[in-house]
Amino acid sequence: TSIFESVELAPRDPILGLNEQYNTDTRSEKVNLGVGVYYDDNGRVPLLKAVREAEKARIEQAAPRAYLPIDGLAPYNKGAQTLLLGQNNELAVSGRALTVQTLGGTGALKIGADFLRHVQPNAKVVISNPSWANHRGIFERAGFQVDQYPYYNPETHGFDFDGMLAALKALPKGTIVVLHACCHNPTGVDPSTEQWKQIAETVKETGLVPFLDIAYQGFGDGLEDDASVVRLFASLDISVLISSSFSKSFSLYGERVGALTLLCASKDESARVLSQLKIVIRTNYSNPPTHGGTVVSTVLNTPELYQLWVEELSGMRNRIRDMRTQLVQKLKDHGVTQNFDFVLAQRGMFSYSGLTKEQVEALRADHGVYAVGSGRICVAALNSGNIDHVAKSIAKVL
Ligand code: PLP
């Protein structure tokens, strides 16, 4: 007899299932907009020049591969923290901010969730409706009840500010609120600066615990502007958790590069928190891997490579923006009268296109254009070779 006999088959990840279907599609004009990855204009995942330079240097050094500390590489953590808080932020200088290297943004969320479960066992977690699908899974598996707050308004293709604010105000003190600090996934819809101020005030007044997820820093308005929400929350003088991911911004998806940053009330508190985070990490995977962390750390801490990276990241951001503009124009060129200008206001890699489930299905079946059932398309997978086919196909299914 097997102890696994009663194990049920789990449902497939819908996006991975879509990829498998795409891979077996034999049509030459097929386009995969279901992915969550940045592709260059040739349809390839880029290897950034800054990354390549840092990798060359690492190979030249023939560095041994000993274990890293449990919390990862110190210069990596410092670099990741500076990207969030800026140079010489008071929280960093006073030792109230702490950062640990994690296995991607997912690893940061998971370590943060396990730690919170330890300190706030009875708290509830709320995520945006809709949100990145793994948010729910990570917090539920950590033992939390997960609810949603209103976020996206399908009628306006915009942000439901009043709905979100009212929901936050009604939450019990201590509730953990997961917020997308920029470039909301899956909708591409972000609150305005003024709205963020009111959200932050509400979080503080209601006594909520903000967990900021920033997986697309640099893809909105640039590295500094995209950190403004993090810096706003950092100025509130409350406990804050931040998960950051470099998967997209360094195009290092498989290297699992991320960081978890916590903002504490004092240096002493920060030391105690770090000691507990180390236990969470130690009992999960002991310590993070060396390669990706070293590469990112080298880029962040070498001025010439940092400058090169900033330029390459701007290139990715501008290419996505250009694709948004072209998509909206080409839809008009193909006779679409419905207003798609909201696509221009969205930020980051994704767009909630407003396409219905049926339209998404027709796109796939009739035109080989793959999108997520929710209507989410990855604008970063559009390129000069496929955008015309995509625009024409959308025009046909509308
Ligand atoms: N958070 C959000 C909102 C994301 O979209 C993603 C990746 O798609 C992540 C976190 C996780 O990033 P990583 O691949 O670095 O684990």
Alpha-carbon gap, residue 28 to 47, rounded angstroms: 25
Kindly report whether the peptide bond that precedes residue 186 is cis, defined as omega within 30 degrees of 0. Answer: yes
Alpha-carbon gap, residue 232 to 166, rounded angstroms: 20
CB atoms within 10 A of CB 304: 10
Decide whether any atom of ligand 1 lies within 6 Å of the 185 Cβ: yes
Ligand 1 site-directed mutation target among 13, 103, 106, most atoms within 8 Å of CB? 106
* Closest-CA residue to 207 (of 230, 239, 234): 239
**Whole-number pLDDT of residue 11:** 87
Decide whether any atom of ligand 1 lies within 6 Å of the 246 Cβ: no
**Whole-number pLDDT of residue 83:** 98
**Whole-number pLDDT of residue 15:** 82
Question: To 5 degrees, how large is the angle CA 171–CA 173–CA 177?
Answer: 60
Decide whether any atom of ligand 1 lies within 6 Å of the 106 Cβ: yes
E strands in the chain: 31-32, 97-103, 125-129, 146-150, 152-153, 158-159, 176-180, 209-214, 240-245, 257-263, 350-352, 369-370, 376-378
**Whole-number pLDDT of residue 13:** 83
Q: Whose Cα sits closest to atom 2 in ligand 1? A: 215
Taking the chain (398 residues) in runs of 10, the rounded mean pLDDT of each run is 95 86 95 96 98 96 93 98 96 97 98 97 97 97 98 96 98 98 97 98 98 98 98 98 98 98 98 98 97 98 98 98 97 96 96 96 97 95 97 96
**Whole-number pLDDT of residue 17:** 86
Pairing status of strand 376-378 against strand 350-352: antiparallel
Q: What is the DSSP string of 43-63?
A: SS----HHHHHHHHHHHHHT-
Decide whether any atom of ligand 1 lies within 6 Å of the 213 Cβ: yes
